[in-house]
Amino acid sequence: MARMKLRNLIPLALLAACAIAHAGEPECVIPSKPGGAMDLTCKLAQKALLAKPGAPKLKLTYLPGGIGAVAWHTLVSQRRPEPDTLVAFSGGSLLNLAQGKFGKAGPSDVRWVAAMGADYGMIAVRADSPYRTLGDLLEALRAAPQKVLIGVSGTIGSQDWLKMAMVARHAGIDPKQLRFVALEGGGEAFTAMNASFVQVVSGDASEAKLYAGPGKVRVLAVLSEHRLPGALAEVPTAREQGIDVVWPIIRGVWMAPGVPEADYRRWVEAFDRMEASPEFAQLRTEAGLYPFSLTGDALTQYIKKAVNDYTRQAMQFNLVR
């Protein structure tokens, strides 16, 4: 599987930074192509902040590449002091940090603003797929793993890759035998499956909500402790189907390291107020997320611990650089 080297990402990041015009309005950078969970994160922030009287509209900007590396290095190296630029992140971003996919970057290199909710991993197929349960899929993978193409956001070691690898390992299947197709974001993965380019998507529950439904997508399992409420309420967990894998995902935003302290605190306080409102709870539910709120210093400490935990998990698959 082809990988984009970090040294090739830096020039791309510089070009992208130069191409973006800034008019001083608040901005949320989405480090993936449209249609995935990162997109949902910025759109949730946009809707929730706009609901406050007098709040300016949050502009959305797409800056895909390197599974988040282009956006990371653009903000850290070229746009360090911008006081009104937020960047979406997920648990997958933290996993990339843990594995060294952002070079020597670490969680202390940026300013963590807010976590707005939690998501969970899931495994889906087309609605007309012969695989009706997780067991059906795993049986097919045992019999002929090379015949099933699995779409994931990112390359070997990405969050979506690791979720499927853990499910396979718990089922007694060697993850090295599986065929993964690296794609840029959840939206692209579901598009590829709809076109029959891949037969399976390892992604997130919030993404699946956008595509699941009669004649569209069949979600085989959610990687949560219990069944999820709402549109995926009828989908069994992997645990229910004999595979003890749970994969929670937090979603939120960070800012570049050179942001003045007063501006950083202003954004932290804005998210504190936003997340305390009943309107936000409704918007979060509509986005397919579940309650999980941390901001500022508390979030920063959580991030540091999470990166350490992801490092230990990644070492089990020899993924740490």
**Which parts of the chain register pLDDT below 70?**
1-24, 320-321
One domain, residues 105 and 172:
no
User: What's the angle, vertex CA 181, arms to CA 180 and CA 184, rounded to 5?
Assistant: 130
Tell me: the pLDDT tens digits for 75-88?
999 999 999 999 99
DSSP string for residues in 145-184: GGG-EEEEESSTTSHHHHHHHHHHHHTT--GGGSEEEEES
Confirm whether 166 is domain-assigned: yes
If DSSP codes are grouped into helix, strand and coil, which group holds residue 127? coil
Q: What is the pLDDT of residue 24?
A: 63
| Amino acid 265: pLDDT | 97
Last residue of a domain, one of 189, 217, 241: 241
Q: Collapse the DSSP code of 249 into the 3-class scheme (helix H, G, I; strand E, B; otherwise coil) and give the result.
A: strand
Of 203, 222, 241, at which residue does a domain stop? 241
Residue 1 forms part of a structural domain: no
The last residue of one of the domains, among 209, 241, 273, is 241
What is residue 255's predicted lDDT score, i.e. its pLDDT? 98
What does pLDDT average to over the chain? Answer: 88
201 CB-contact burial (10 Å; exposed 0-12 / middle 13-18 / buried 19+): buried
Q: Quick one: which of 76, 102, 79, 98 has its CA closest to 4?
A: 102
Position 223 in a domain:
yes
Q: What is the pLDDT of residues 193-233, one digit of tens each?
A: 999 999 999 999 988 888 877 778 999 999 999 999 888 99
Residue 321 located in a structural domain: no
When divided into structural domains, the chain yields a total of: 2
Q: Give the model's pLDDT for residue 36.
A: 81
Same domain, 102 and 151: no
Q: What is the pLDDT of residue 10?
A: 37
Range of the domain at 233: 120-241
pTM: 0.76
> Do 216 and 260 fall within a single domain?
no
CATH code at position 173:
3.40.190.10
CATH code, domain carrying 30: 3.40.190.150
Residue 149 resides in a domain? yes
